[in-house]
Amino acid sequence: MQAIRVHPAPQGQPPYSPTNPAPVSALHLDTIPIPHPTKEGQILVKIKASTVIRDTLAWPETYAHEYITPGNDLSGTVVEVFSAGSSKFKPGDEVFGMATADHPATWAEYALVLESEIALKPEGLSWEEAAAVPLSGQTAFEALFVHGGVSVPTDDEEILRNQSKDSPNPNANKVLITGASGGVGVYLVQLARLAGLHVTAATSGKARNEEFLLSLGADETIEYGSLKEKQDSYDLVIDCVGGEPLVNAWNAVKSDGILISVDSSSFNFVEEHTKQGIHRDGVKALFFIVEGTHAGLDTLTRFANLGILRVFVLQTYPLANAREAYEHGNGRFTGRGKIVLSV
């Protein structure tokens, strides 16, 4: 099969690592053997699409071993299961999901994944759209419903009512989302709306993003500079950008509220902000990395099948053009949605 692999640094040069990331030229299209399930829970999937995630070549997991195949998001067709009698999947099933960080491998024609990492693909989504959902969608799901304390909406009629409301419920809990028009933010806005929350979407530019964010279900939009004026305004703040907006989020969250960041550069923000005297007693603050669960995938699938989860794909590249796709995904580009590799 064909697979994109990260080749090691040329002889005589320092080895690639998170502090010395591999250049895009280290990505090579290689021909390697097709893997096969060797233990309980493993499933072989013929990949249809995967996504390009910013800064993948700076992740520690990318250097877990030489010649690693990157890629976490996937959509595809089940080819083989280790134990057909005990698996809920069978050959021919159309699935989507996310290989966890410790075994990326989806930039390839075939990939071994765990049964716990996949679910049946939403019927109304294309292969490319389905691949764009798992990592970002599950990050949003876990931020809101696992760490944010929001109840997962289960009544389809209530969900549809929340989605179609013209005005917010004045008694609803209030959530602020920074980076609301980004890869995770677009799912946060939609899921928070479907859960019946009052949604404030923070953005770097209202003129550019306000109409789009309101169309996703935001009740109002603000620019980052306004956060200083929002003292004790939100029950929950979910940050996707870090930096000054995250600093000012301490002011915006209620004294007994929850502050969450999913911005990778802010992994130690609680410790750092505490040292700087920014921390507020009473606020539950945390950073987390998405784990991925059946509950998350199943909820996202349900919303997609109801036709109320919007998915955005900016551009699709063939697997052989992974270098170009990675450069696109790591550059300053206009447009909304994920960069997808089509296999």
Q: Are 91 and 78 in contact (CB under 8 A)?
A: yes
Against a cut of 0.85, is the pTM above it? yes
Residue 224: pLDDT over 80? yes
pLDDT at site 294: 87
Q: Looking at residues 297-306, what average pLDDT do you find? A: 95
Q: What percent of the chain has pLDDT over 90?
A: 84
pLDDT tens-digit series, residues 109-118: 999 999 999 9
Q: Looking at residues 225-243, what average pLDDT do you find? A: 94
Residue 169: pLDDT over 80? no
Q: What is the largest CA-CA distance in the chain?
A: 64
Q: In this structure, what are the phi and psi dihedrals at residue 220, rounded to the nearest 5 degrees?
A: -160, 160
pLDDT at site 59: 92
pLDDT at site 233: 93
pLDDT at site 336: 87
pLDDT at site 293: 87
97: left (phi over 0), alpha (psi -120 to 50) or beta: left
pLDDT at site 167: 63
pLDDT at site 164: 74
pLDDT at site 3: 98
Instruction: Give the β-pairing of 27-31 and 42-52.
Output: unpaired
pLDDT at site 9: 96
Domains in the chain and their CATH numbers?
2-133+311-342 (3.90.180.10), 137-287 (3.40.50.720)
Residues with Cβ within 8 Å of residue 208, at least 6 apart in sequence = none
106/55: higher pLDDT: 106
Q: What does the chain come to in residues?
A: 343
pLDDT at site 333: 67
pLDDT at site 158: 82
331/283: higher pLDDT: 283
Residue 166: pLDDT over 80? no
pLDDT at site 289: 92
- Estimate to the nearest angstrom the gap between the alpha carbon of 42 and the chain centroid: 23
Confidence tier at 86 by pLDDT (50, 70, 90): confident
pLDDT at site 332: 67
Q: Looking at residues 161-180, what average pLDDT do you find? A: 82
CA atoms 293, 295, 299, 304: torsion sign:
positive
Confidence tier at 159 by pLDDT (50, 70, 90): confident
Average pLDDT of every residue of the chain: 94
